[in-house]
Amino acid sequence: MKRIINTKICPILSAKIMSQSNEELPVIVQFKNENTHLENMIMDLSPEVKLSLPIINGIACNLTTEDVYRLANSPDIEYISFDSKVFTQLDISVPTTKAQLPHQLGYKGKGITIAVIDTGVAPHSDLTKPNNRIIGFKDFINNKSTPYDDNGHGTHVAGIIAGNGYSSRGKYTGIAPESNILAIKALDKNGGGTTSNIVAALSYVLETREKYNTKILNLSFGSPANNSCSKDPLCKAVKIADNSGLIVVAAAGNSGPNPKTILSPGISPNVITVGAVDHKRTVDPSDDTIANFSSRGPTREGLAKPDVVAPGVNINSLSNINLDGYRPLSGTSMATPLVSGAVALLLNKHGSLSSRDVKKKLMDSCIDLKEEKENQGAGLVNLQNLFFDEYEREDLYEGNGKIKSCSSKDGLIENLLVLLFILFLLDKDY
């Protein structure tokens, strides 16, 4: 049995090598520096080269465990990791009922593009009528050129962000109904994919960000955090995205209720990590609880996560089968786009904001659910607090708690925004 003392090999590959298995495995090889000679050597060595991953200075390919063991001894290799599976964070164990998401916004996300890396996005009427707001599509699974979604998860996520309620006469409207969607299919019809495809998708978003005016990345998926964040390929990729000015919003995962179950890339300090709340369909938030499935922190390296939580149980959004229909789903996948949409509205109000500023505003807006920090982060995002400071909130209400009447059109819109945001977060039918 080989003894592995090399810190350049991830735990999964280490276990395979120690078992003396010489099977061929999908891996991601990261180089310390650009090294064309070494990359070409690996390409010659590998039975299957999948992708070049320049965003993390790496390559995705298949290698035998023996080749992995030998390569790790090279001083030019930074890290070799298993090309882990990535999955949508949809909770299928929670029974779903119809839920309304009526929303009319003062800030609607106009001109802002959110990249949705997922199972694709179907051309639902709420995204394509009266104007097509799926402004770009890239398929890393089947290489098709027109938008589609053979799973449904990505379409549901996109609808929570940008659906305009066209098919329901405004009954089911997303958070930012005038925003644009850059749809990237990196997960297959079963909701699964590879780390390497996700990294390639992230590279594509960066390469095209000026073309599509992409400001936000929605990542409603996750992979087990088997590597330290400094070596994890997904963490490295989202760090580069964050440093480039993109705001990255990621699902905490559906591996709760045990602690230290946050998935990658949600373990990264460079993303806004979102857990899910079960609001019990009541007006009073005091009975809201963290959804049982929502992953808990901290990360294995001790970082406090999630950052915030949002409604994630029984959320109605777009169907990928009936292109003028809707369906309810649950999961941190559904909570994540609620926050992505809110970020689009923040950018509408404030213009350019850094990811640090956005995260601070979100966390400062939260309602404390009296849960442990590793369960709720800063708490439940409250959009009234997010859009109005203490003095503005006081000015909005009469002494009896009712919203003041407004003499101006802009004031009326802002008051409606507050009221509807509160109703949305409580998922109240009316």
* pLDDT of res. 394: 54
* pLDDT of res. 47: 84
Residue 219 pLDDT > 90, yes or no? yes
Q: How confident is the model at residue 119 (pLDDT cuts 50, 70, 90)?
A: very high
* pLDDT of res. 232: 95
Identity at 146, one-letter amino acid code: T
Residue 372 pLDDT > 90, yes or no? yes
Q: For residue 333, indicate whether it is catalytic.
A: yes
What secondary structure letter does DSSP report for 185? E
Please pick, among 103, 153, 156, 279, the residue that the annotation labels catalytic: 153
List of residues 6+ apart from 234 with CB closer than 8 A: 86, 195, 198, 199, 223, 264, 265, 268
Return the SS3 of 318.
strand
- Alpha carbon distances (Å) from 186 to 98, 358, 359: 29, 26, 26
Please pick, among 81, 317, 319, 333, the residue that the annotation labels catalytic: 333
- Alpha carbon distances (Å) from 328 to 100, 170, 256, 325, 331: 9, 17, 21, 11, 11
**Structural domains in the chain plus CATH codes:** 11-83 (3.30.70.80), 88-386 (3.40.50.200)
Is residue 15 within a helix (H) or strand (E), and if so which, with residue range?
Answer: helix 11-18
Q: Rounded CA gap, 236 and 271, in Å?
A: 11
The tens digit of pLDDT for each residue in 60-115 reads 999 999 999 899 989 999 999 999 888 776 543 332 222 222 233 467 899 999 99
* pLDDT of res. 181: 98
Contact by Cβ (8 Å): 256, 296: yes
Tokens standing for 123? 């051309």
Residue 393 pLDDT > 60, yes or no? no
Please pick, among 91, 118, 126, 232, the residue that the annotation labels catalytic: 118
What secondary structure letter does DSSP report for 149? B
| Ranges 17-21, 72-76, 414-418, 424-428, most confident | 72-76
233-243 and 195-207 helices, crossing angle to 10°: 10
| Ranges 111-115, 369-373, 403-407, most confident | 111-115
In terms of C-beta density within 10 A (0-12 exposed, 13-18 middle, 19 or more buried), how is residue 210 classed? exposed
The tens digit of pLDDT for each residue in 273-299 reads 999 998 766 555 667 789 999 999 999
Q: For residue 284, indicate whether it is catalytic.
A: no
Return the SS3 of 4.
coil
* pLDDT of res. 106: 63
Tokens standing for 387? 């859009």
Q: What value does the mean pLDDT of the chain take? A: 85
Mean pLDDT, residues 171-193 taken together: 93
What secondary structure letter does DSSP report for 65? H
Q: Rounded CA gap, 137 and 147, in Å?
A: 6
Contact by Cβ (8 Å): 212, 112: no
Contact by Cβ (8 Å): 59, 29: yes
Q: How confident is the model at residue 389 (pLDDT cuts 50, 70, 90)?
A: low
What secondary structure letter does DSSP report for 213? T
Residue 419 pLDDT > 80, yes or no? no
What is the pTM for the complete model shown? Answer: 0.85
Residue 420 pLDDT > 60, yes or no? no
**Phi, psi torsion values for 153, nearest 5 degrees:** -65, -50
